[in-house]
Amino acid sequence: MSTHELHENQHYIGGTWRESQGEIPIPVIDARTGVIMGNAPAGSVADLNAAVEAAVAAQPAWRALTPQQRGKHLRALADGLDDRREEIATVISREVGATYSLSYNVQAVVPSHSLRTAAAIAESYPFSEEIDNSIVVREPIGVVGAITAWNFPLHLVTVKAAYAMAAGNTVVVKPSEFAPLSARILAEVAIYAELPPGVLNIVFGTGPVVGEALVRNPAVGAVTFTGSTRAGKRISELAADQVKKVTLELGGKSPNIVLEDADFKAAVEFGVADCMVNNGQRCDALTRLLVPRSRVAEAESIVAAKVRELVVGDPLEEGVDVGPVISDIQWNRVQDLIQAGIDEGARIVVGGPGRPSLPEPLDSGYFVKPTVFGDVTPDMRIAQEEIFGPVLVIQAYDSESEAIDLANDTIYGLHACIWSDDEDHAMKVAGKVDAGLVKINDGPLNLLAPYGGYKQSGLGREYGRFGFEEFLEVKAITTTHNVRPWS
């Protein structure tokens, strides 16, 4: 397996590389410098349809394998990704701007974890149960279409593909055109690991062409998507025409609620650190810091000190905390929202518009000053819109009930964090917050627990058993007498 094989105008279809029938390849930009670092195909509808045909052809044989046999293939993929961890981390740091530490320890590690976890769940999962005179069985959907975002590019591909394949489905993936190169590595690993042809197919290209064709294709039984709420609504509209199952993991505007009885300094510093992970390019980032009004000045002092300690620079260099955002489009969007905050009356505590001062060639990269706003009211754009950059807003509350109201006062409901020295107290507050994931203090993310959102943060769940079941149909087989469990 060559680590230098670029396949710049090829898709991975039916277990092999196929020349794209699309137009000129799409350039992939190094976020650190703004310079082209590679290319990926601008796939066509014909490319997508060929991939779906390959997935349809492969699905019966893949479904017929035992969970243990499918698990063996998934573990081989995981081993292959582990062998290329350094390469994956470097590529993602350049494409996305993530620090190398994050890319190595998270971006390049979680994908193999998803593959192994999905395999283990399938091997122990009860695919049938007896209910009175019925057997209820769970069966694969068939062909699953996966459309993914750019911020955690390989993770988002594998967390969907792993669970779908483990459940007996075949998969067609449309990775983000802004960060496609790690998906190319996954295809190389799949060939090397001898994954059966057609079980996993990867078609590169844009959402309006390849993504929409994937959703529209009648042979695709379900679509799983991670990205913006706007794009998720479009996918839902297209899928509704065929009453097609859709799983959506969308935007967020997540609150970090610091209660009166919390370890205040630890809570505030945690909020800053969480907001800046992946340079703020996370749908579940804690981008709103909710603190008692009497302690706003203290919070701002802690925040300003913490932000000024952050090192902004080349994400491949050791000791860097914040790298660039992914593109000029994203940089301009973040700048627009920073300016909107200023125009609407919010006060900059630290940071602000423009680029930080960096040497060549980083002065051409998409770097944003880590920025914090005070005096933020719920009606402001920066309190309501997902910024997807290193920008934190501080909101003051006068009572616990007001804090809960502020936390829930957005169209989103993906993630929240509640800080209190009394865990029982925090649990009661958690029950009143509209979010699919609520952390108490600095509890770590559990990759076996369900992940997904309330309201316009999405539909369905990923990770663990709940994510696995998203890729199964439920069938009730009823007879006139009691039956034995399905074998």
Report whether 252 contacts 414 (CB < 8 A).
yes
Q: Is 249 a catalytic residue?
A: yes
291-313 in b/e form (b: 16+ CB < 10 A) is bbeeebeebbebbbebbeebebb
Token pair of 408 as six digits: 């829930």
Using CA atoms, how far apart are residues 1 and 13, in angstroms rounded to an integer? Answer: 17
Do the Cβ atoms of 251 and 356 come closer than 8 Å?
no
Pairwise CA distance, residues 297 & 430, whole Å: 26
Find the catalytic residue in 177, 188, 212, 283.
283
Q: Which of 249, 385, 386, 470 is catalytic?
A: 249
Report cis status (omega within 30 of 0) of the bond before 361: yes
Dihedral-angle region of residue 336 (phi above 0 means left; psi in -120 to 50 means alpha; beta otherwise): alpha
Q: What's the token pair of residue 180?
A: 């496609």
Question: Which residue numbers are catalytic?
Answer: 249, 283
